[in-house]
Amino acid sequence: MTTHDSTKLVCLPHAGAGASFYRPWAALTGDGPEIVALQLPGRERLIDEEPYRDVHRAVAGLMPQLRERLGGRDARVALFGHSLGAVLAYELAHRLTAEPGVELAHLFVSGSPEPDQGRTRRATGLSDDDFLARVSEFAGYSHPALDDPDMRELLLPTLRADVEMHETYVRSTRLPLDAPVTVIRGKEDDLVSHEDAASWSKASGRDFDHVELPGGHMYLTEAAPDLIRVIVSKLV
């Protein structure tokens, strides 16, 4: 593997979010990793495209986008994903271990139990009001855009597809990942317990670390600087 100017931190969106969620991170990394935020269909500039309802189809669809962003050059890559993004990042990480010219430096998973552990309570199939109430309960917050009827009508199909994708997810492999894994959790997360987060140790074939930061399930909306510091410290 050739030397690299910097690691690229590939970021996967949580349910309902787009690549722009990670735009502020670029200012926080300084001379650290370059932020490469991947975009799923059904949101932002891809709002008119049909969203995925299956994690494995989503990952297959993201691979060409990632190859394009890497520019066909050798690259040192780390992955970050929160909640739905965590399982997307995990599956993408397994694909990258076989990708020519890519050194998989680290997998960072956040706000999620390990891949075999699904939710016992689900939102898929509920009426619109009940679905949004359940998702708000899961996340510990509700996006203000969902209070606007027009925005709600626009965003709801993609949010439903994302939640279905997460709730029907089954891992593609039981092989331990050949890369260090760090799991991050908000200390007050009522959805993912300390033990749920620690269970990611089963998925790691290399070094494993478990970090907790102040906040609930969506701690990263408030604690992004702390989170970036954790990520940068692991990529030295």
Q: Round to whole Å and give the CA distance between 231 and 162.
A: 25
Residue recorded with tokens 């650290």? 32
Rg (CA), the chain: 17
pLDDT in tens, 7-41: 999 999 998 889 999 999 999 998 889 999 999 99
The mean-pLDDT minimum among 26-30, 131-135, 139-143, 157-161 falls in 139-143
At 129 the pLDDT is 78
- pTM score over 0.85: yes
pLDDT in tens, 41-84: 999 999 899 999 999 999 999 999 999 999 878 899 999 999 99
Q: Say if residues 60 and 96 touch (Cβ distance below 8 Å).
A: no
At 215 the pLDDT is 94
User: Domain 8-231 is of which CATH architecture?
Assistant: 3-Layer(aba) Sandwich (3.40)
Domain boundaries, the chain: 8-231
At 4 the pLDDT is 40
Smallest Cα–Cα separation from 59: which of 95, 84, 86?
95
- pLDDT classification of 118: cutoffs 50, 70, 90: low
Average pLDDT over residues 167-171: 90
Q: Round to whole Å and give the CA distance between 34 and 7.
A: 6
Pairwise pLDDT comparison (140 vs 224), residue with the higher score: 224
Report how far apart, in Å, the C-alpha atoms of 223 and of each of 30, 123, 126, 127 are: 17, 27, 32, 33
